[in-house]
Amino acid sequence: MEKIVIEGGHRLEGTVAVSGAKNAALPILISTLLTEGLNTVDNVPDLRDVRTIKSLLSDLGAKVETSGSVVKIDAGGLNSYEAPYDLVRTMRASVLVLGPLLARLGRARVSLPGGCAIGARPINLHLKGFEELGAMISLEHGYIEAKARSLKGAEVYFDVVTVTGTENLMMAAVLAEGITTLRNAAREPEVVALAEALNCMGGKIAGAGTPVITIEGVEALKPTSYTIIPDRIETGTFMIAAGVTCGNIKIVGSEPNHLRAVIHKLQQTGITVEEEVDGLRIIGTEAISSVDVKTLPYPGFPTDMQAQFMVLMCLAKGLSVISETIFENRFIHVSELQRMGADITVSGNAAVVMGDGRLTGAPVMATDLRASASLILAGLAASGTTEVSRVYHIDRGYECIEKKLAQLGGQLRRVPA
């Protein structure tokens, strides 16, 4: 086990590059299961979740080769339809193999993910959608068994906007017979990226990025080359790192159009966000204003940025109400921030933050990726030393975060716990 030790109070300055998006890389790597032949996926971040998916693909019979950020996958030898409990429990996104395995083999057996630190996170809408495409679903011994002689296009309506649900259904429908319409579909840039990748393989998907996605099934897909989009949550995390240290940084390789809600809120706090040709410049302010935030499906404010934004609000002067509408238990960072002196009261799905412009270093830990990121940000801003333990959560979704922040002048290092 390792921890990250941070000496707070140093302004961040300089340039940092953003990695490929975790939540685009995971479904796109999995989508290669839909083809026979060699796919090349570029700008793949080196993350624990990505390594988990690569070993799942290998277990299923695909050949996977990695060279830097390029991953080559040939799923011609696909010979298994099972995602075991040990893998799914470490990464819920493994359920994304359901769609491609059903489409290609007519069968999938995937461990039902349990609850997770941020909420119950059911996959009932994925399963209902597969049933609408003609699959038979049963649950036995903790495993979802999905079978379909052939999948047929259908109308699928999502009661709740679900990102991986939309992605799973797109991957199943792309090889189904006839037309599938997904209504109340997720509009996240990662959904659009997956649709683009599938279309490069010969899929016929229209409307990705809107609430109605239409998929005209095709007989087969062919292998392709695809470059993963920049990680908008990593970008947003660096933006807040500049904000909480009153820094001045440039984030290269970012896509501002994927971050409009976050940019808008940051500007309301008094932070300067300038769009330059090759990225974003963020200039902090000594006088951060409090603003309210409500998490929503894209293009609303992302739940994956809520914990980090809360740290910024701890450093503002005044009251901020942060409402979490996506996950029921995504305030696990609050008690850790309270240990650093934050004045936060949680009532239902709202956290009331009484900012007083300062935090003090303390030993902290969190059981969720984005919560852990928020504690690193808090440590950068706090006076004194902060030790963030259980950093394996961070390694699930941020590539070399301590190195990138250190390159900007942050005083932090990873040490054995």
Q: Which residues are near ligand EPU by CB under 6 A? A: 22-23, 26, 93, 119, 121-126, 160, 162-165, 190, 303-304, 326-327, 369-370, 397
251/326 with CB nearer ligand EPU: 326
CB of 407 vs ligand EPU, minimal distance in Å: 23
β-pairing verdict for 385-389 and 363-365: parallel
Please report how close the Cβ of residue 267 comes to ligand EPU at its closest, in angstroms. Answer: 22
303/308 with CB nearer ligand EPU: 303
Query: Looking at 116, 200, 246, 400, which residue is catalytic?
Result: 116
Considering beta carbons, is residue 382 or 394 the nearer one to ligand EPU?
Answer: 394
Please report how close the Cβ of residue 9 comes to ligand EPU at its closest, in angstroms.
28
Cβ-based nearer residue to ligand EPU, 156 or 362: 156
Least distance CB 96 / ligand EPU (angstroms):
7
**3-class SS letters over the chain:** CEEEEEECCCCCEEEEECCECHHHHHHHHHHHHHECCEEEEECCCCCHHHHHHHHHHHHCCCEEEEECCEEEEECCCCCCCEECHHHHCCCHHHHHHHHHHHHHHCEEEEECCCCECCECCCCHHHHHHHHHCCCEEEEECCEEEEECCCCECCEEECCCCCHHHHHHHHHHHCCCECEEEEECCCCCHHHHHHHHHHHHCCCEEECECECEEEEECCCCECCCEEECCECHHHHHHHHHHHHHCCCEEEEECCCHHHHHHHHHHHHHCCCEEEEECCEEEEECCCCCECCCEEECCCCCECHHHHHHHHHHHHCCEEEEEEECCCCCCCCCCHHHHHHCCCCEEEECCEEEEEEECCCECCEEECCCHHHHHHHHHHHHHCECEEEEECCHHHHCCCCCHHHHHHHCCCEEEEEEC
Q: How far is the CB of 100 from ligand EPU (least distance, A)?
A: 15
Residue number, 325 or 407, with CB nearest to ligand EPU = 325
Q: Let me know if 116 is a catalytic residue.
A: yes
Beta carbon nearer to ligand EPU, 5 or 21: 21
Cβ of residue 160: shortest distance to ligand EPU, in angstroms?
4
Q: Which residues are catalytic?
A: 116
